[in-house]
A and B are shown apart, each in its own frame.
Chain A
Amino acid sequence: MGWINFELFAAVSLICWLVSGGFLMLKTSNSTFKTLAPTVLALSGFISLMLFIVLLWVKIDRPPMRTLGETRLWYAALLALIGIVSFIRWKYKWLLAYSLFMGGLFLVINLLHPETYDKSLMPALQSVWFVPHVIVYLFAYALLAASSLVAVKAIYQDQQGKNWQHLPELADNFVYLGFSFLTMGLLFGALWAKEAWGHYWTWDPKETWAFISWTAYLIYIHYRYKHLKKHKPAMWILIVAFGLLLICWFGVNYLPTAQNSVHTYSG
């Protein structure tokens, strides 16, 4: 029946990203090794993964966005993409290295937990809103994850006594973009809920946690607007906000409130 071989695609991506990371570590002034090689390799890994996602989509005849395992594929790809774009744009080596590492980690998790790619899609998910709602959320989470990588780096540099004053501005770029997507995801979700369940907002546990993470980033944006010079508290707000986002992303299934959620999927 011709199963698509995930191991193969994942291996290509992992090797490309590993070698790309190796080039990033090189201390050289040769621009081919310094920028071109890691970019091309990282991009190849990204393409290999996207190819798998597209093939899988065709194979299972529904958007592969339903289970946690499926969304991990997207995060791996999108994180790599964000790393690549910001590497081309701002030349941040470490950010590319981290996002490839995180993306690779997601792939390894998927390799260790192979899952059934089940074709069925419950009727409530069969909606024009499904793809836009999930895609903007995937983008938002990947961008906000990148912003928190920046915040962690900033705090670390601070403890090392190194200069990190240029980092918050980079974090802002990710947060503004990410928050924009987060808002769209939340609202698309509300519009969809109205069509599928009769009401746009019911404080379902997943909705509640989505709202919580949204307010946390709202706080960051306003704090930054008023106190552009107070970098350190801002970076801490960002780390806490990401902690809340992680609960929304993975943790909701384990909370006492989860039993009643329409959002608890098999993972």
Chain B
Amino acid sequence: MERNTWQTPWSYREGWIIVVGLTGLGVVWQVFLPALEAQVPRWPGNLILGLIFITLLLALHFFFAKSLLSKWLSSVPAAVTSAAFYCGLAILMGIIPQGQANNSTLISLLGLNRLTTSWIFVLANAYFLSGLGLATLKRLIPFKLKNAGYILNHLGLWIALTAAALGSSDLQRLYMNCYEGQPEWRATNQAGQVVELPIAIELTDFKIDEYPPKLTLIDNTTGRVVAKGKKNQYFSVEDSPIQLLDYKVEVEKRLHSAGLIGERFEPVNEMGSPPAAKVRVTHTQTGETQTGWVSSGSFMHQPYAFKLSDRYSLVMLPPEPQKFQSDIRIMTEEGQQMQTTLEVNQPFKLGGWKLYQLSYDSQKGKWSTLSVIELVRDPWIPVVYLGIFMLLAGSLFLFRDGTNKKKAQ
């Protein structure tokens, strides 16, 4: 039997109309009330907002369970359409570069180049989380063990997303430029403002471990790597002897830190001395052999190529970092001192902060005396992680009973 639009129970048609309506509302809000920025208040405002949201959902669940709104929001068509709404906005984010100015006035006006802070996104989020929240409550109270998987998935997702959204305003990410031997307590936030911290950080030593440099053949006229698309474009000097097109390359001598003296390299230990290698190159067709030097160069020295023929030269590529780390001393206002080493993937916890090794002066490479340290404070993270771990547990249930469910119906 044909059902009229808006006649209960609502289904997909109403779902799509709601999505279009929310989009329209978001656009109007964004365009005509740009002063009313879509921003979650800071602590404790976000906590209060969260509590109001939870109270509303509980009230709907307990006192208005039979109401159209409750029934609709906790239905599958609402879940499907709100997820599609979210998905559609994410697609826009996936296509339009975010967080940078856009040439199109329409895109800028609608806030599509900073979607996560636009009103459309806020409305989509609110709709999605209301639906998810009520769908969760539907099977959470009264609790039944057989709903465990359902609850872990739905409640977990709700907790993770709600906490992430509310907590976004309390998230602080700061960048600190630390130079060797100079204690620093000023950092820059993402808006580019300078922030003074109650702790100071002094870089005592910055170190880089490098992979052995690689050798490759380039074309003398274009300067491009010639073996492009071939299996062996370049080789580590460690893998000698190597084959590059028709040339067999043997590394005779390898220097980690070298200086050019006349036509050859000698070991030197100065800042900016690049690696170099003495190679013997044999043309496999003609058997012709030549010996020469290559060096990757550095921020202080020119690279040194070995010209093999009119067409080709052998070159050494600058070594890639394998690991970089900063030895730092941290001093608190109370006069406490501690020492630690920061490394990528190994942050250091300090009070509510986490310290990360971010980057360094890549021009200078291993001679950098600068280390950029990121300081992150995210007080809501335990709640987000609670949600994430519930979801992880829930995904195991999906594993188990996904297939059985269907047959039970």
> Which residues does A use to contact B, with CB under 8 Å?
1, 3, 113-116, 118-124, 126-127, 169, 172-173, 175-177, 179-181, 183-184, 187, 190-191, 194-201, 203, 205, 208-209, 211-212, 215-216, 218-219, 222-226, 228, 244, 247, 252, 255-257, 259-260
Closest to B98 in A: A203
User: What is the CA–CA distance of A126 and B325 in the complex, to the nearest angstrom?
Assistant: 13
Q: Which residues of B contact A176 (CB under 8 A)?
A: 398-399, 402-403
Q: Which residues of B contact A197 (CB under 8 A)?
A: 356
User: What is the CA–CA distance of A219 and B12 in the complex, to the nearest angstrom?
Assistant: 13
Cβ–Cβ contact A169 & B76, under 8 A: no
Cβ–Cβ contact A201 & B164, under 8 A: yes
Cβ–Cβ contact B345 & A127, under 8 A: yes
Q: Which residues of B contact A198 (CB under 8 A)?
A: 173, 347, 354, 356, 358, 374, 376
**Interface membership of B5, Cβ < 8 A:** no
B332 to chain A, nearest CB (A): 21
User: What is the CA–CA distance of A210 and B329 in the complex, to the nearest angstrom?
Assistant: 39
A184 to chain B, nearest CB (A): 5
Given contacts A126-B344, A184-B395, contact A257 B97 (CB under 8 A): yes
Question: In the complex, given contacts A124-B344, A179-B395, what are 18 additional A-B residue pairs having Cβ atoms less than 8 angstroms apart?
Answer: A1-B239, A3-B232, A120-B322, A123-B321, A124-B345, A172-B406, A175-B402, A176-B398, A183-B394, A187-B388, A187-B392, A191-B388, A198-B347, A203-B98, A215-B83, A219-B83, A228-B409, A257-B96
B408 to chain A, nearest CB (A): 11
**Interface membership of B305, Cβ < 8 A:** no
Cβ–Cβ contact A219 & B97, under 8 A: no
**Interface membership of B52, Cβ < 8 A:** no
User: What is the CA–CA distance of A105 and B288 in the complex, to the nearest angstrom?
Assistant: 42
Cβ–Cβ contact A114 & B392, under 8 A: no
Q: Which residues of A contact B77 (CB under 8 A)?
A: 226
Q: Which of B76, B90, B395 is in CB contact (< 8 Å) with A215?
A: B90
B217 to chain A, nearest CB (A): 13
**Interface membership of B306, Cβ < 8 A:** no
Count how many pairs of residues, one from A and one from B, have CB atoms less than 8 Å apart in the complex. Answer: 148
Cβ–Cβ contact B93 & A203, under 8 A: yes
Q: Which residues of B contact A120 (CB under 8 A)?
A: 211, 320, 322
Q: Which residues of A contact B402 (CB under 8 A)?
A: 172-173, 175-177, 179-180
User: What is the CA–CA distance of A195 and B311 in the complex, to the nearest angstrom?
Assistant: 47
Q: Which residues of A contact B314 (CB under 8 A)?
A: none
Q: Which of B230, B236, B324 is in CB contact (< 8 Å) with A123?
A: B324
Cβ–Cβ contact B388 & A203, under 8 A: no
Kindly supply a per-residue 1/0 record for chain B positions 86-126, scoring 1 wherever the CB is within 8 Å of any chain A CB and 0 otherwise: 11001101111110000000000000000010000000000
Q: Which of A126, A177, A215 is in CB contact (< 8 Å) with B323?
A: A126
Q: Which residues of A contact B233 (CB under 8 A)?
A: 116
Closest to A182 in B: B395
Cβ–Cβ contact B96 & A183, under 8 A: no
**Interface membership of B384, Cβ < 8 A:** yes
Closest to B171 in A: A199
A233 to chain B, nearest CB (A): 10
Cβ–Cβ contact B97 & A223, under 8 A: no
User: What is the CA–CA distance of A244 and B90 in the complex, to the nearest angstrom?
Assistant: 11
A139 to chain B, nearest CB (A): 11
Cβ–Cβ contact B236 & A219, under 8 A: no
User: What is the CA–CA distance of A215 and B161 in the complex, to the nearest angstrom?
Assistant: 14
Q: Which residues of A contact B234 (CB under 8 A)?
A: 116, 118
Cβ–Cβ contact A219 & B87, under 8 A: yes
Cβ–Cβ contact B229 & A113, under 8 A: yes
